[in-house]
């Protein structure tokens, strides 16, 4: 399927990310994100790996292939989901992103969220989870939807964690399996919020003579 055309605002953001000088990671290739905007579901991981760095796309390595399987469990096609990371450049040796690196990319992430305007955000891994729930343990809150403003945040393990620890695979599959129900609830919630405005009578128009 042909990739959707980028909106001017998202294209401008990608160009800014490509020229970003905010931290030391900017010396490597940038991987801003991929997917449609707007999108009902947005997945946010931690940072690009080697394969992602080579191709300039998020989640295209082994973890990305598993993510495709997980999305299929939820009845979602990859090209219907927006995917990005909390840091846009690969940490050397695939190490954990440093706090200053996450902070440097945070404004880009916030702009992506605003442009994509997802109903449901799936955080993949503890660093993405910490953007909304600092100090929480992913082992304790994974799969538990929590509201942050108008959006539903669903923290989950990173697919790479299940590749390292096979016992996490059924846990991730079960967490993703609830996404259709959560997404339907969010759509219904949005429709209910819109209904009063649609039902209100049109304002009277003064006739000009």
| 151 located within any domain | yes
Q: Which domain holds residue 141?
A: 8-183
For 15-53, what is each residue's pLDDT tens digit?
A: 888 878 778 776 666 788 999 999 999 999 999 988 898
- Domain membership of residue 40 (yes or no) is yes
pLDDT at 16 (0 to 100):
86
Whether residue 42 lies inside any domain: the answer is yes
HEC secondary structure over 52-119: HHHHCCCCCCHHHHHHHHHHHHCCCCHHHCEEEECCCECCHHHCCCCHHHHHHHHHHHHHHHHHHCCC
In a domain, 196, yes or no: no
The alpha carbons of the chain give a radius of gyration, in whole angstroms, of 19
Strands 146-148 and 151-156: antiparallel
Burial (CB < 10 A; 0-12, 13-18, 19+), residue 191, is: exposed
Instruction: Return the DSSP state at 166.
Output: G
- Note whether residue 46 is domain-resident: yes
- On average, the pLDDT of the chain sits at 89
Q: Which backbone phi and psi does 208 adopt, to 5 degrees?
A: -95, 130
Closest CA to 129 of 165, 94, 156: 156
Give pTM, 2 decimals.
Answer: 0.85
* Position 189 in a domain: no
CATH number for the domain that contains residue 121 = 3.40.470.10
Q: Tokens standing for 96?
A: 């954990």
Q: State how many domains the chain has.
A: 1
Asked whether residue 112 is domain-assigned, the answer is yes
Confidence of residue 111 (pLDDT cuts 50, 70, 90): very high
């Amino acid at each position: 399927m042909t990739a959707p055309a980028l909106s001017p605002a998202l294209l401008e953001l990608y160009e800014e990310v490509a020229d970003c000088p905010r931290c030391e990671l900017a010396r490597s290739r940038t991987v801003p994100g991929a997917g449609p905007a707007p999108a009902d579901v947005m997945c946010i991981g931690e940072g690009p790996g080697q394969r992602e760095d080579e191709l300039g796309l998020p989640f295209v390595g082994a973890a990305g292939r598993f993510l495709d399987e997980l999305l299929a469990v939820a009845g979602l096609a990859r090209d219907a989901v927006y995917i990005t990371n909390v840091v846009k450049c690969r940490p050397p040796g695939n190490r954990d992103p440093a706090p200053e690196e996450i902070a440097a990319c945070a404004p880009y992430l916030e702009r992506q969220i605003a442009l994509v305007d997802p109903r449901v955000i799936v955080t993949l891994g503890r660093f993405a989870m910490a953007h909304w729930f600092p100090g929480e343990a992913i082992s304790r809150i994974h799969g538990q939807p929590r509201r942050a403003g108008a959006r539903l945040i669903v923290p989950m393990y990173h697919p790479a964690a299940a590749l390292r620890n096979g016992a996490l695979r059924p846990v991730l599959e079960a967490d993703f399996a609830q996404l259709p129900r959560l997404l339907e609830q969010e759509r219904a919630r949005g429709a209910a919020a819109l209904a009063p405005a649609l039902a209100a009578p049109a304002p009277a128009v003064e006739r000009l003579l």
